Amino acid sequence: MISDIYRVRFAPSPTGYLHVGGLRTALYNYLFAKKNNGKFVLRIEDTDRNRLVEGAEEKLIDSLNWSGLTFDEGPGKEGEFGPYRQSERLDIYKKYSDQLIAQGDAYYCFCTHERLQTLREEQQKQKLPQAKYDKHCLHLSKDEVAKNLADGKSYVVRLNVKPGLPVVFDDAVKNRVEFTTEVIDDQVLIKGDGFPTYHLANVVDDHLMKITHVIRGEEWLTSTPKHVLLYNALGWELPVFAHLPLLLNPDKSKLSKRQGDVAVEDYRDKGYLKKALINFVALLGWGPQDNQEILAIDDLIERFSLDRVNSSGAVFNVDKLNWLNEQHLKLTDKNELLDLLKLELADSEYKDVNLTDTKLLMIIESMLERITFVKDIITGSSYFFEAPKEYDETVIQKQWKENSADLLKQLKAEYEKINDPVKEDYEKSLRTVAEKNEVGAGKIIHPLRLAVSGVGGGPGVFDITNIIGKEETIKRIEAAIEKIKPAN
């Protein structure tokens, strides 16, 4: 047994940001750990020195923290299996590489770039299905190897893959996976710069960190046979593998930057709630037995299991994400929404508008059914924060008649009579005016809406008047009477 508790890891390479696919992998690992009282480890796979990006690790950890996927062990949270940054574990990889060489399962390769290039070109000419190293250096004598090393010749270490053998492993998502060593190249394990490749470092660390379940994206499935060969050569127990389905664009191509945002921080900056993004990402390739769609993190933990992960690709549908954001907004505590709205306001042209919390809460209440993001309250209903600067022409055409100004004048007079009106009073007065003039209430409601908001849609007009208050309503009616001329 690898460990008496389940241990899983998220093992990103710090290449700049947290990809939504990475968030999905991290989330499934997290859910699996929490569901099973296991441990969730973060390991930074930074052995590809060419792809290193300054500050990428911090950004990644920031995004993970924002998402709420806190790890139990990882950089800055050292447990008994650290260090958790691969660049700090080079001597460990060297030790196992030496062991593999001594066993004959790996060998030094001194081939130059030129030789490898020529070899590849020849193989391409022969139309071989796949370019593979020809094991030239496997046949060097001990003395030749010793001399090359003594001469300081640069080298890599390669896995010695024995041809003609089956490589079979079980995958919790893909079921039984079968390869043959015929299609596996003598993979480089230690590179010319002395750093291990992903394959060696990943296997060594998963073993030493007692990882019981390797849950990762499907793009790593073709690497797994190499890993299995390494586990076998080192005499180590295989973890359970679970390869998660690819994320696809709506046109079924692989999810790419070209068709939309792929960085978690982009979604955060656009105003998605983390619980909506987490809910959405959870449903990319997995679904609960009860088909519930709106799920908070605790619901996800309760329901998660690897056997309900789909094996076919999952389409990334932003409309669904928007819908989930709307649903989660409705479920969010009003005071939390208040804080979010204040943040958005502070960042907007209305940062100096002074509204009480009670007013802001009323605005939120009136808009909640109509918004996808909290900031839609500001962009979609600026009339709560300032008087309309202009009036929608098409609404004028349709709703502003010869008698509109007169009806509003009468309405204004009614409003002036009431002290501290409540929402119902605004409506009652309007109905009184309508009756007196023998017109339908709509004949006044629409002009009133135009006067107070400048537009034709939005929350109930009496919600608006009630929120902006008597003085402001009267002022806006006066301004509209003066500025709006009926269409001919």
- What is the nearest approach in angstroms of ligand GLU to the Cβ of residue 293? 28
Q: How many C-beta atoms surround the C-beta of residue 331 within 10 A?
A: 11
- For residue 298, the minimal CB distance to ligand GLU (Å) is 26
* Identified binder of ligand GLU from the candidate list 7, 8, 12, 245, rule CB under 6 A: 12
**Cβ 227 vs Cβ 197: under 8 Å:** no
- Paired tokens of 327: 């649903």
3-state SS of 262-308?
Answer: CEHHHHHHHCCCHHHHHHHHHCCCECCCCCCCCCCHHHHHHHCCHHH
- Give the C-alpha separation, 115 to 368, whole Å: 66
∠ Cα 28 35 64 (to 5°) = 40
Q: Which is nearer to ligand GLU, 92 or 116 (by Cβ)?
A: 92
Stretch that binds ligand GLU, among 7-15, 293-301, 417-425, 435-443 (CB under 6 A): 7-15
Q: Which is nearer to ligand GLU, 11 or 233 (CB)?
A: 11
Residue 174 binding ligand GLU, by CB under 6 A: no
Amino acid at 432: T
* Residue 315: partners with Cβ closer than 8 Å, 6 or more residues away: 248, 249, 250, 252
Marked catalytic residue, from 95, 147, 254, 257: 257
State the binding string over 45-64 for ligand GLU (x if CB under 6 A, else -). Answer: x-------------------
Q: Quick one: which of 11, 31, 246, 464 contacts ligand GLU (CB under 6 A)?
A: 11
Query: Cβ 237 to ligand GLU, closest distance in Å?
Result: 17
Q: How far is the CB of 45 from ligand GLU (least distance, A)?
A: 4
105-129 core/surface letters (b: 16 or more CB in 10 A; e: else)? bbbbbbbeeeebeebeeebeeeeee
Which residues within the stretch 180-199 sit at the binding site for ligand GLU (CB under 6 A)?
A: 198
Catalytic residue at 257?
A: yes
Quick one: tokens of 345?
């306001």
Beta bridge partners of 242: 215
Of the listed pieces 10-18, 145-153, 380-388, 478-486, which binds ligand GLU according to CB under 6 A? 10-18
Q: What is the DSSP string of 153-210?
A: ---EEEE-PPTT-EEEEEETTTEEEEEEGGG----EEE-TTSPBPHHHHHHHHHHHTT
In the list 13, 67, 429, 465, the residue contacting ligand GLU (rule: CB under 6 A) is: 13
Tokens of 436: 């007196």
Which segment (9-17, 34-42, 307-315, 318-326) binds ligand GLU by CB under 6 A? 9-17
Q: How many residues bind ligand GLU (CB under 6 A)?
A: 8
Binder to ligand GLU among 216, 226, 328, 449 (CB under 6 A)? 216
Question: Under the criterion CB under 6 A, does residue 427 sit at the interface with ligand GLU?
Answer: no
Q: Which of 383, 368, 373, 406 lies closest to 484, judged by CA?
A: 406
Nearer to ligand GLU, 190 or 433 (CB): 190
CB atoms near residue 20 (< 10 Å): 23
Q: Which is nearer to ligand GLU, 203 or 282 (CB)?
A: 203
| Residue 319 CB, nearest approach to ligand GLU (Å) | 28
Binding segment (CB under 6 A) for ligand GLU, from list 8-16, 271-279, 312-320, 469-477: 8-16
Q: How far apart, in whole angstroms, are the C-alpha atoms of residue 313 and residue 17?
A: 23
Return d(Cα 160, Cα 162) in angstroms, integer: 6
The piece of 5-13, 184-192, 267-275, 436-444 that touches ligand GLU (CB under 6 A) is: 5-13
Q: Whole-number minimum distance, CB 12 to ligand GLU, in Å?
A: 5
- Of 6 and 391, nearer to ligand GLU (C-beta) is 6
Q: Which of 202, 212, 279, 399 binds ligand GLU (CB under 6 A)?
A: 202
Residue with Cβ nearer ligand GLU (202 or 473): 202
* Alpha carbon distances (Å) from 406 to 26, 409, 410, 411, 453: 64, 5, 6, 9, 19
Strand partners, 44: 85
DSSP helix, strand, coil percent of the chain (3-state; round to 5): 50, 10, 35
What positions carry a catalytic annotation?
A: 257
- Tell me which residues touch ligand GLU (CB under 6 A): 11-13, 45, 198, 202, 216, 220
